[in-house]
Structure 1
Amino acid sequence: MSENPLDSVRKERQITVTAADLPLCCPLPDEPVALLHPRVYLDPVKSGKAVCPYCSREFLFTGEPPKGHH
């Protein structure tokens, strides 16, 4: 029996991210983009959060911003 590719999709509506997760895109790199929505890059650093315009997941930034990020 094959694994369902949607099993790798995170179910949380809010996802905490750090500088190590940048550049941030939704769907996340390990999620099957072909089965979800077009990949969009988000900047959660400036305001502390970013919301995906396709699926409305919120990405909350914690920690120190990366050097040189404006």
Structure 2
Amino acid sequence: GWDLQTFQCIETLNDHADAVMSVLCWDSFLLSGSLDSTIKVWAATESGNLEVVYLTSLEVVYFTGHATGQLFV
């Protein structure tokens, strides 16, 4: 995560085995797609940390969201 006032990195998520190619904030979730062929869905815990709440293995690492709430993979 980034501090938007200082533009400093304040948190790094290190759960993928390869480079992350796509990141999307969608509703209350963060989605990340990686060259390791996984898409991970992250959610905040009560303590404020992010943890993976869903994982899928696909050959697709790019995705986008739409204002209607649809997610395109």
Interval of TM-score (by shorter of Structure 1 and Structure 2): under 0.3
Please state which structure has a larger fraction of its residues in helix: 1
Please state which structure has a larger fraction of its residues in strand: 2
Q: How does the TM-score come out when normalised to structure 2?
A: 0.26
